[in-house]
Amino acid sequence: MKDQILIHLNDPGQLEKLYRTNKGSFKREFRTLYPELKGNLLADFWNERLNYESEELSRTTGGDWVFVIIASLAAGCIAKLPALFSINEEFFYPRNIGFIVFPALMAYFARKNNVSTGKIAFLVGASLFGAIYINALPDVTTSDTLILSCIHLLLFLWALVGFAFVGETKTNDEKRLGYLKYNGDLVVMTTLILIAGGIMTGITIGLFKLIGLNIEKFYFENIVVFGLSAAPIVGTYLTRSNPQLVSKVSPVIAKIFSPLVLVMLVIYLVAIIYAGKDLYNDREFLLIFNALLIGVMAIIFFSVAETSKTTKSQAEIWILFLLSVVTVIVNGIALSAILFRISEWGITPNRAAVLGGNVLILINLLLVTVQLYRVVSKKGGPAGVGRTMAAYLPVYVAWTLIVTFLFPVLFGFK
């Protein structure tokens, strides 16, 4: 490798090929050679490039680790509150599961982005209001509005984390897209952490069983609870302090799954017609259909967030465009089924929430599809797609507020 670097020292293309062929060997040999190559413009460039990457890998401080440890312990303690104070778990967890992790993430981004005191006060006040409100709702397990409020409260807290993520910057659209990308990266990193934790759990319990000690109950009630609570916080720290860890994995996942989901959706729609499935009278199937729609929307959103950051091939843009078109069709079917059920059996909290959510998703999909069409027809750029999506996010937040805080009152806590 050393000889090859010297031979191609003034050939940028060949140096890039050498680097991509064996990055570790290239870095090692180049750093050995660089003292005698100083002054060569291309060598100086490669020195800066390689050093920049190494700095990126070690961009951590002791204070960050202390914060992550304290936040993880606090999240675990919140998760353990029912056991510590004999609180009914069925009452506590559905209403408060979001408060285990989201406040810690808000604190993390508020700290990293130097959020102003006024915005910190808003985050604390909004979180406290949400906690007081959700826990003050009547304890009726069959209440649809309670279930809807608990589900949408998670989205409300997620939006507050986004508020802290944006921080003091004025370029909100770019930061909102960055927030969507962060969520995709966090899913990847947290999944890896949980897989590693699951392997460690199995090994640990197995080792203790070999010496005659059964620690399963203690381990799951304490170590696992704290580990699950800490996973998103540690995942956030790793993705933000070492962005290159998943910056290349997430786009590949989006690139692989976008065409697969497109093919699956088309086949699924054909299968529905072939099977003669009645969407209009099968409530359970309609719920699953809407869950599928939300999952596909998440893939589109994340792919668009990636698209606006990097240059995509025309084929990838076409896949996103076709996926958006098919998802519009899926949304239209779901929306027609909801309208049919409302016309036949009247309005209920669940039907109102699903109707509102589907209408908002349909409008957003149409706007994104139009922008993607402009890209494939070369009348616009990928940045326009990202701006459209980012500008629409507050609409979802407004609907979340309505369902979380007004639906229980409007429907008499039914």
Residues 29 and 106 in one domain: no
Residues 131 and 211 in one domain: yes
Number of domains the chain contains:
3
* Token pair in block for residue 305: 């967030």
**Alpha-carbon gap, residue 297 to 303, rounded angstroms:** 10
Residues 84 and 212 in one domain: yes
* Token pair in block for residue 139: 């304890």
Residues 112 and 184 in one domain: yes
Residues 110 and 13 in one domain: no
pLDDT of residue 247: 67
The pTM (predicted TM-score) of the whole model is 0.83
Residues of the chain with pLDDT under 50: 53-58
The answer to whether 368 touches 300, Cβ cutoff 8 Å, is yes
Q: Provide the domain limits for residue 404.
A: 248-410
* Token pair in block for residue 224: 């696992």
Residues 101 and 220 in one domain: yes
Which residues in 331-352 are b (16+ Cβ under 10 Å) and which e? Answer: bebbbebbeebeeeeeeebbbb
Which of 195, 176, 182, 319 is CA-nearest to residue 261? 319
pLDDT of residue 229: 95
Residues 87 and 236 in one domain: yes
**Alpha-carbon gap, residue 222 to 201, rounded angstroms:** 12
Residues 196 and 255 in one domain: no
Note the Cα 259 to chain centre separation in Å: 20
The answer to whether 306 touches 251, Cβ cutoff 8 Å, is yes
The answer to whether 70 touches 237, Cβ cutoff 8 Å, is no
pLDDT of residue 306: 65
Residues 238 and 371 in one domain: no
pLDDT of residue 207: 94
The answer to whether 258 touches 316, Cβ cutoff 8 Å, is yes
* Token pair in block for residue 308: 């606006």
Sequence-distant (≥ 6) Cβ neighbours of residue 390 within 8 angstroms: 172, 173, 174, 176, 177
Count the neighbouring beta carbons within 10 Å of the beta carbon of residue 300: 25
Where does a domain end: 212, 244, 276? 244
Instruction: For tokens 């936040």, name the residue.
Output: 71
Residues 107 and 188 in one domain: yes
The per-residue DSSP string of 262-286 comes to HHHHHHHHHHHHHHT--TTT-HHHH
Residues 223 and 92 in one domain: yes
pLDDT one-digit tens code per residue, 51-107: 764 444 445 566 888 999 999 999 999 999 999 999 999 999 999 999 999 999 999
Where does a domain end: 187, 222, 244? 244
What radius of gyration do the chain's Cα atoms show?
A: 25
Residues 22 and 141 in one domain: no
Where does a domain end: 229, 244, 259? 244
